Amino acid sequence: MPLTRREFVQTVGVGAAGALTSSYIGARGRENGVWAALEPSLAAAEPGTIVLASNENPLGPGKTVLDAVRAAFGDGGRAPGRYSGSAGELIDVITKKFGVKPENVVLGCGSTQILRSATHLFTAKDKPLVGTIPTYEECVGYAEMMGYPVRGVSLDADFKIDLDKMGDAAKGAGLIFYCNPNNPTATYVGAKASRDFFAKVNRESPGTTILVDEAYFDYVTDPDHDTHVPLAIENPRIIVARTFSKAYGMAGLRMGYAIGHPETIKKMAEWDAGGGTSSLNVLAMHAGIAALSQAPGYITAERARNTEVRDFTMKWFADRGMKPTDSQANFMFVDIGRPAKDFRAACRARGVMVARDFPPFEKTHCRISFGTMEEMKKAVAVFGDVLGKKTTAAAA
């Protein structure tokens, strides 16, 4: 017998301490527990598995966000009001954070909705999508589904976006998907080089829109680092996409937004009826408000935690002759010298999940997300066994 919304809320005990855990909101291992009980086919990761296959904050969103979600439920699991005004409140918080106006912001169901809307609006049969090979697949998959051409651009020798090749491919294109740091390679192109590239595209292909995906912005430690929001609000051909799924640990709630020129944002809002809010839920919006209202120290601490784990894990591989890319994110792309499929299966058998294949590097490279330090110390012991490179006492 299916559960009603009220029965579901009462079953998981939203008001009880620890019942609404960060794992559900963070989407890291969310296939377990309650979700697996309701739908057994979703049980993708066994309890106790170290999940390094998706780029989420392993700590989840934190108490401030969890408390906001609990409060949004109201007494006894009462349905949150759809017309509560939380969308407007979230947009207000975003505008204050970036110093922009409400007409510069549109909300989306994760950054996924933002990426799809931009692809739909700015590509066509005679306006190709341009993106690196590999990159996050959402825009490419959506363009191909609509029957629109895609121009793939290979990365440079350092696995970074090759700006010269991308500039050539951009001529006459409808949309460039500029994922920076790039997923799955974790590499980053500096702010100055990016701005110069955008200006070049604007000169040489003025009809081309550039979608800058800043999903991993909060994890970058490169000193030449800056958001491109100031450019986007002035230039109708630049859009910045942001998400709460990564550093803020809210992947399970699906909350994102775009910032851009009023004309561009208006087009996106009109395409997605309701200005993006029709596909959102009140819990996600309340969580987003809480996440952005936290003290800046939250992101500073999360970046520092990730940097420590990143440096430890990259050094472990480098010390054993396996070259990782220059990671500027919460994951790494490393040359393990063998097919990722075999490595993935062997790790899974030992309780560690790593990422899927990313052609054309699936025969040599694997993407590994960073967990907690405790998780990574356990994981590298497994990696050492699987790869035949034992963990040293220093690494352990």
Task: Note the pLDDT of residue 350.
Answer: 96
Q: Which tokens is 85 given? A: 């005004």
Which residues contact residue 366 at a Cβ distance below 8 angstroms, ignoring those fewer than 6 apart? 333, 334, 336, 340, 343, 344, 354, 355
Q: What percent of the chain shows pLDDT beyond 70?
A: 82
Cβ–Cβ < 8 Å for 104, 260:
yes
Task: Note the pLDDT of residue 252.
Answer: 84
pLDDT at 204 over 60: yes
Task: Note the pLDDT of residue 15.
Answer: 41
Per residue in 206-216, pLDDT tens? Answer: 999 999 999 99
Q: Do strands 209-213 and 238-243 pair parallel, antiparallel, or not at all (unpaired)?
A: parallel
- What is the CB neighbour count within 10 angstroms for residue 303? 17
Mean pLDDT of 193-204: 98
Task: Note the pLDDT of residue 82.
Answer: 56
Terminal C-alpha separation, the chain: 49
What are the C-alpha distances in Å from 348 to residues 83, 310, 331?
Answer: 44, 21, 18
Which residues contact residue 22 at a Cβ distance below 8 angstroms, ignoring those fewer than 6 apart? 59, 60, 61, 62, 66, 249
Mean pLDDT of 307-329: 97
Please, which residues bridge with residue 131 across strands? Answer: 152
Q: Which tokens is 190 given? A: 């500096």
The Cα–Cα gap between 180 and 367 comes to 16
Which residues contact residue 187 at a Cβ distance below 8 angstroms, ignoring those fewer than 6 apart? 155, 158, 159, 160, 161, 181, 325, 326, 327, 328, 333
Question: Which carries the bigger pLDDT value, residue 257 or residue 77?
Answer: 257
Domain ranges of the chain: 86-293
Cβ–Cβ < 8 Å for 242, 215:
yes
The H or E element spanning position 107 is strand 105-108
Question: Which carries the bigger pLDDT value, residue 279 or residue 263?
Answer: 263
Q: Do strands 209-213 and 175-179 pair parallel, antiparallel, or not at all (unpaired)?
A: parallel
Q: How confident is the model at residue 111 (pLDDT cuts 50, 70, 90)?
A: confident
Cβ–Cβ < 8 Å for 189, 161:
yes
pLDDT at 371 over 50: yes
Task: Note the pLDDT of residue 83.
Answer: 55
Mean pLDDT of 152-169: 97
Which overall architecture, per CATH, does domain 86-293 show?
3-Layer(aba) Sandwich (3.40)
Q: How confident is the model at residue 84 (pLDDT cuts 50, 70, 90)?
A: low
Q: How confident is the model at residue 41 (pLDDT cuts 50, 70, 90)?
A: very low
pLDDT at 254 over 60: yes
Cβ–Cβ < 8 Å for 324, 370:
no
- What is the CB neighbour count within 10 angstroms for residue 235? 18
Cβ–Cβ < 8 Å for 20, 296:
no
- The mean-pLDDT minimum among 15-29, 74-88, 246-260 falls in 15-29
> What is the rounded average pLDDT for all residues in the chain?
86
Q: How confident is the model at residue 391 (pLDDT cuts 50, 70, 90)?
A: low
pLDDT at 10 over 50: no
Q: How confident is the model at residue 75 (pLDDT cuts 50, 70, 90)?
A: low
Q: How confident is the model at residue 16 (pLDDT cuts 50, 70, 90)?
A: very low
What are the C-alpha distances in Å from 63 to residues 13, 16, 17, 59, 303?
Answer: 16, 13, 11, 11, 18
With b for 16 or more beta-carbon neighbours within 10 A and e for fewer, the 55-67 pattern comes to bbbbbbbbeebbe
Task: Note the pLDDT of residue 308.
Answer: 98
- What is the CB neighbour count within 10 angstroms for residue 339? 15
pLDDT at 293 over 70: yes
Which residues contact residue 149 at a Cβ distance below 8 angstroms, ignoring those fewer than 6 apart? 125, 128, 129, 143
From 5, 111, 25, select the one nearest 69 (Cα to Cα): 25
